[in-house]
Amino acid sequence: MAPYQDGITITISSLLGKSVQEIIEGQSLQLISAIVSMRTVKEQFEIDEIEKAVNITAGMHRQAMRYVGDLLASGKAATERDVVGKISKIAISQGYYHSFPPIVTMHGEVFHSHGYTEAVKKGGLLLVDAGAESLEHYAGDMTRTIPVSGLFSKRQKDIYDIVVAANMGVIQSAMPGLSWRDMHNRAARIITSGLKNLGLMKGDTDNIVASGAYALFFPHGLGHLVGLDVHDMENYGENNVGYNDSVKRSNIFGPSYLRYALDLKKNMVLTDEPGIYFIPQLINLWRKEKKFEGYINYERTAKYIGFGGIRIEDDILITENGCRVLGSPVPKTTEDVESLIQEGMKTSNNR
């Protein structure tokens, strides 16, 4: 099998004494197919392990919200690195570790930011994408976006509520027999409708989704399989796991990054992680190219440059008739997020 990650390919090359090209050319699609068929649907033991990891993950995210409250109450300065330390302690103190390097950033529009050097500043949004790994090496993966001022501004709340609506729309709809591509498109329609209400997009929603114009704001796939890896089985090749002879990957920017597009089955575990991002380089490029001018209000969108990004992510288990969010609850509505931040402020003041 030719791993997805180059570093692993090089390691296997070294262990087997074969060239990287030989490793790539020697992969067995038959073996990959057999493994994918076994690992896509989880046994009860695996579901239990994932839920253990997600429960620890939930504690990490609640701690991040409380810590923001502590910072507000104490007036202490902090960087993204300090937040990483706080959430890591939750996992490590219980014998767990990260299922992937945490993404903790004041620049949510940067998808994989691991520098951790930015100051946690009032007025901004802190995006925390982190997960724990169970003792049996099953992964949890969750994202929340936190207002560092303790309260969402009107503009932040407007965007945040659209993302929550997309996340919940998938939770309310996902069930066996529907495809994950359908769920991605459902989230895209909800995001498109919300952005139209704010005057950032215009035109027919179905046409916008079909064209991929919404990807200016939501340029990644809805989510991915979760299991023994946070992107489960990615080393077998996404097209070998999430696509088949009948379901091909889109060639449209945005939808082309959907990692899994096939039908849902009972006892599958996936992430539901829609987002809205204002990426300056992408906005400026598309505006310069006059791309999708009939669907995007560039003048209004440009005013959001500097906003950052918002993502909300849960791990969901496909059940017999629907789906279930795994793990103990983590605040998701604006009111609940603000409430937990306030709790952190009170705890800080009572020390």
Residue 65 shares a structural domain with residue 14: no
Backbone angles phi, psi at 344, to 5 degrees: -65, -35
Q: Which amino acid is at 39?
A: R
Query: Do 259 and 152 reside in the same domain of the chain?
Result: yes
Q: Which of 225, 217, 167 is nearest to 41 (CA)?
A: 225
pLDDT one-digit tens code per residue, 260-299:
999 999 999 999 999 999 999 999 999 999 999 999 999 9
The DSSP 8-state label assigned to residue 198 in this structure reads T
How far apart, in whole angstroms, are the C-alpha atoms of residue 142 and residue 181?
20
Q: Are residue 72 and residue 52 in the same domain, yes or no?
A: yes
Q: Rounded to 5 degrees, what are φ and ψ at 307?
A: -65, -40
Average pLDDT score over residue span 75-94: 96
Q: What is the mean pLDDT of the chain?
A: 95
Distance in angstroms between the alpha carbons of the first and the last residue of the chain? 55
Q: Report residue 23's pLDDT band, with 50, 70 and 90 as the boundaries.
A: confident
pLDDT beyond 90 at 2: no
For 62-189, list the strands marked E by DSSP.
Answer: 97-98, 103-105, 125-130, 132-133, 142-147
- Do 10 and 70 lie in a common domain? no
pLDDT digits (tens, 9 = 90+) for 150-194: 999 999 999 999 999 999 999 999 999 999 999 999 999 999 999
- Per the structure, the count of domains in the chain is 2
Between CA 56 and CA 235 the distance in angstroms is 25
CB-facing half-sphere around the CA of 49: CA atoms within 13 A: 19
Same-domain status, 60 and 19: no
Site of tokens 């690195």 = 81
Same domain, 117 and 35: no
- For 41-52, how does the pLDDT look when each residue is reduced to its tens digit (9 = 90+)? 999 999 999 999
Q: Which two tokens stand for residue 76?
A: 């202490």
Quick one: 127 and 23 in the same domain?
no
Are 187 and 11 in contact, with CB atoms under 8 Å apart? no
Report the CATH number at residue 49: 3.90.230.10
Strand boundaries in 116-180, DSSP class E? 125-130, 132-133, 142-147
Checking if the pLDDT of 236 tops 50, the result is: yes
**181 and 244 belong to one structural domain:** yes
Least confident stretch, 65-69, 95-99, 345-349: 345-349
Same domain, 117 and 14: no
188 and 170 share one domain: yes
To the nearest 5 percent, what fractions of the chain are helix, strand and coil? 45, 15, 40
Q: Are residue 318 and residue 340 in the same domain, yes or no?
A: yes
My answer on whether 34 and 128 are in the same domain is: no
Q: H or E element: which one contains 242?
A: helix 238-242
Domain that holds residue 212: 42-349
